[in-house]
Amino acid sequence: MSRVAVQFAVLLSVMGSVAAAQPHGRVVGQVLDQTGAVLPGVTIDLIVNEAELTTTTDDEGHYGFDAVPAGTAELTFRLLNFSVLRRIVRVNAGDIVTSDNTLTLSLKADVVVTRAATFRNIVDVRTRRTILSASPLPRVTAPSLRRSWKSVR
């Protein structure tokens, strides 16, 4: 082998080891609601430097990001009917960062219309035994207590 070929081979092996040693870390955690119950299906976006990663929580509310570039990362947690939550974490090479979070119910409701139909409130839906209604109950006149009081004396 010529001297140039040996130098080229050494250069390639050094470049390969540098590429393999990129500084990465991990971000893991669990997402709960206000009562402490786990929240499956939460969408989590992680943005660090130029990279954007996305995952969702599993049935136990756990999530994880592998091979996260080192730097300051922003985590964004989203689930329908819950407020959006943002957290900033610092990721160092080789470290595992734990970010457990609690989502709170939103005070506003998101409505998605999927077809032309009349909206029905859940309390107005007919059940097997009775009809639940959000309308006020009719007024009923209470029996007079004077008549009952006179008979006791």
Mean pLDDT of the chain: 77
pLDDT band at 107 (very low <50, low <70, confident <90, very high): confident
* DSSP secondary structure letters along 32-66: E-TTS-B-TT-EEEEEETTEEEEEE--TTSEEEEE
Note the maximum CA span of the chain: 126
Both tokens of 149, joined, read 């009081």
**All domains in the chain, ordered by first residue:** 3-102 (2.60.40.1120)
The per-residue pLDDT for range 27-78, each reduced to its tens digit, is: 999 999 999 999 999 999 999 998 899 999 999 999 999 999 999 999 999 9
Cα angle 60, 61, 62 (rounded to 5 degrees) comes to: 95
Q: Give the pairing type, strands 51-56 and 43-48.
A: antiparallel
Q: Is the pLDDT reported for residue 101 higher than 60?
A: yes
Q: Is the dihedral angle over the CA atoms 32, 60, 96, 89 positive or is it negative?
A: negative
Query: Can you give the pLDDT at residue 75?
Result: 97
- This model's pTM is above 0.85: no
Query: Can you give the pLDDT at residue 23?
Result: 81
Both tokens of 83, joined, read 């407020």
**The total number of residues written for the chain in this structure:** 153
Average pLDDT over residues 18-25: 64
Distance of CA 124 to the CA centre of its chain: 30
